[in-house]
Structure 1
Amino acid sequence: MRIGTVNISSGRSAAGSVLAPAALGAAVAVLDADVLAVQEVDAGQPRSSGADQAAAVADGLDAADWRGAATLTGTPDPFRSWSPAHPALRGPDDGQAGPVYGIALISRLPVLEWSVLGLGAGRARLPMKAPDPRTGGLRWWWIPDEPRIAVAARLEHLTVVATHLSFAPHTSVRQLLRLRRWMATLPGPTVLAGDLNLPGGVPARLLRATPLVRAASFPAADPRVQLDHLLAVGNGLSARDGRAQELAVGDHRALRVTVSPT
């Protein structure tokens, strides 16, 4: 089974344009992943022409099932015209909600059970350059941290957990430790997939996990640090062909690995 993770940056290409749903699906299809964790996913957002990006990725992978989990209701912007979303799952039969923003977990394989965990938000703020609506010029804004969430899919031989952790290291560490406690209650072995916003070997050490891919993933064009991770927690898996791959979407490189039960 191939497991992957990719931060699609709301469907933006390297040039900054937002890909149409068919192009987004084609961009991720090259991973040929059986299970794919996706971060920074829009649904019903004006900036991405109202597309349901989780559904578009699922179509590109010809997936059997998927779940989206919103972290924000409204449109992320410097003026905080959004509110935290209640931890909940949305699937292909639920219709499109929006505007929302969050993560998704896509599966070509039958999912025996879905579950979700809210991870909360930190108090840190991130500087970001964005247009000022009063002047039209670019200026720096302080962006508050958003709530974070995790989605788990229990498959026949393992559980895959998708997440996107805080940009503030002290908060992402706290969220990762909470994930560790939650994952201990899930049927194993478990693979954690996502943009953890923690570098190199730090997440594996904190989780007492095995890295399945060791490769720099950010920024996509010239990666210098690994922020995206595929980590095996528990025994019972062998891995091969782990790699990072630049796609036609997102500002991170995608990761992919093939795992087998032992």
Structure 2
Amino acid sequence: MLHGRSIDDGIVDRKRFAESVAAIDADVLALQEVDRLQPRSGSLDLTTVAAEAAGAVSHRFVAAVVGTPGETYRPLSFDDDGADEPNYGIGLVSRYPVRSWRTLRLSPSPVPGPIYMVGPAGGRGRPMLLRDEPRVMVVAVLDTPWGDVTVGATHLSFVPGWNLWQLRQVVRVLRTFPAPRMLLGDLNLPAAPAALGSGWRPLGRVPTFPSSAPRVQLDHVLADPRGWGTWPSTADVTTPVVPVSDHRPLVVDLPLNGAPGSAGAAPGHPG
């Protein structure tokens, strides 16, 4: 989401963000780089704004840090730490009721890693080394017309190797939940390493970053082949242009037992 900011004018506009979510029109939407009560985004609860725009019945924001990334922040010592302070993390929005929620916290890399910062208006940027942040996954067991479906949403480290280690962690945890299972989000991994590292099937393989002219896929919808049953024969995959973020959202329209449903990953930048 890039905390709802447009790379064209650098502004976070609530109406523009809500219209972007409504245009994606996903039944299940994973959000990365989400602000809550941050001055830079007008002190909005952006997950709640997204839920309202999507017509969702269930949603949850999970903070990865208290404070502002790139400035002053601290890890959470427990899930409701810093509830009245600026938070930054991920969100999950669903048009289906949620039977249960779980949070998995992931340690940051002990060493800094390279990140490519997009320039103004999506122009040429520059690589730089940044200290990693704590990461988090939120898991929801959805009550859908096709039975229970487990969805995990996350935003993994940008540090090479460490993100693969985190990916294996989240896959192990997701496999303790009911099948079928899906993982949505910005994994900071190209398509081949994400598929090989997880052992899961990518439901859409298309570049998502940078938004101005996507060249690499960092954002994924992965499905666990265990317990899936009959694989859908087709899936409509799109990366629509929206006026927020420096990634494009990955939208997968997935027919389940003859009835369509969609899962979207609305990512932020690799940090």
Superposition TM-score tier, normalisation by shorter sequence: 0.7 to 0.9
1:53 corresponds to which residue? 46
Q: Provide the rounded CA distance (Å) in 1 between the counterparts of 2:207 and 2:112.
A: 25
2:98 aligned with 1:111: yes
Q: Tell me, yes or no, if structure 1 residue 200 matches structure 2 residue 191.
A: yes
Structure 1 match to 2:237: 242
1:72 to partner: Cα distance? 0.9
User: CA separation in 1, counterparts of 2:139 and 2:169?
Assistant: 14
Q: Does 1:43 align with 2:36?
A: yes
CA–CA distance in structure 1, aligned partners of residues 52 and 76 of structure 2? 25
Aligned partner letter, 1:33:
A
In structure 2, relative to structure 1, the CA distance for the partners of 1:89 and 1:242 (3 Å cut) is farther
2:216 is matched with which residue?
225
Displacement after TM superposition at 1:16 (Å): 4.1
1:182: how far off?
0.5
5+ residue gaps, structure 1, are 1-7, 91-95, 131-139
Task: Tell me the C-alpha RMSD between the 2 structures.
Answer: 2.4
Which residue of the partner structure matches residue 265 of structure 2? none
**Could you tell me the TM-score, scaled by structure 1's length?**
0.85
Query: Residue in 1 aligned with 2:141?
Result: 154
- The answer to whether residue 179 in structure 2 is matched with residue 188 in structure 1 is yes
User: Structure 1 residues 216, 129: CA separation in 2 closer, same or farther (over 3 Å shift)?
Assistant: closer
Q: Whole-Å Cα distance in 1 between the matches of residues 74 and 236 of structure 2?
A: 40
Indicate if the aligned counterparts of 1:87 and 1:116 stay in contact, CA closer than 8 A.
no
SS in structure 2 at match of 1:178:
helix
Mapping for residues 60-209 of structure 1, pairs under 5 Å? 60-77=53-70, 79=71, 81-86=72-77, 88=79, 97-126=84-113, 142-156=129-143, 157=147, 158-209=149-200
For the 8 Å contact 2:115–2:158, the answer to whether it is kept is: no
User: What is the CA distance between 1:21 and its match in structure 2?
Assistant: 2.1
Equivalent residue pairs, number = 241
User: For 2:211 and 2:40, how far apart are their aligned partners in 1?
Assistant: 22
Q: What secondary structure is seen at the aligned counterpart in 2 of 1:245?
A: coil
The structure-2 alpha-carbon separation of the partners of 1:28 and 1:182, relative to structure 1 and needing over 3 Å to count, comes to: same
Counterpart contact for 1:87–1:118, Cα < 8 Å: no
Secondary structure, in 3 states, of the residue corresponding to 2:168? Answer: helix
Change over 3 Å in CA distance of 1:141–1:196 after alignment to 2:
closer
Structure 2 vs 1, CA of residues 99 and 188 (structure 1 numbering), >3 Å: closer, same or farther?
A: same
Query: Are the structure 2 counterparts of residues 37 and 129 from structure 1 closer, same or farther at C-alpha, using a change threshold of 3 Å?
Result: closer
| Aligned equivalents of 1:195, 1:123: Cα separation in 2 | 20
Whether contact under 8 Å (1:37, 1:193) holds in the other structure is: yes
The DSSP-based 3-state class of the residue aligned with 1:30 is helix
**SS at the partner of 2:49?**
helix
**Kept in 2: contact 1:71–1:87 (CA 8 A):** no
CA distance in 1, matches of 2:54, 2:155: 21
Following superposition, the deviation at residue 260 of structure 1 comes to: 3.8
Residue 164 to residue 228, structure 1, CA distance change in 2 (3 Å)? same
- Give the conservation status (yes or no) of the 8 Å contact 2:180–2:224: yes
Taking the aligned partners of 1:149 and 1:115, their CA distance within structure 2 comes to 11
Unaligned runs of 5+ residues in structure 2 are 118-126, 258-271
1:170: how far off? 1.0
**Equivalent residue number for residue 205 of structure 2:** 214
- Indicate the larger mover: 11-20 or 22-31: 11-20
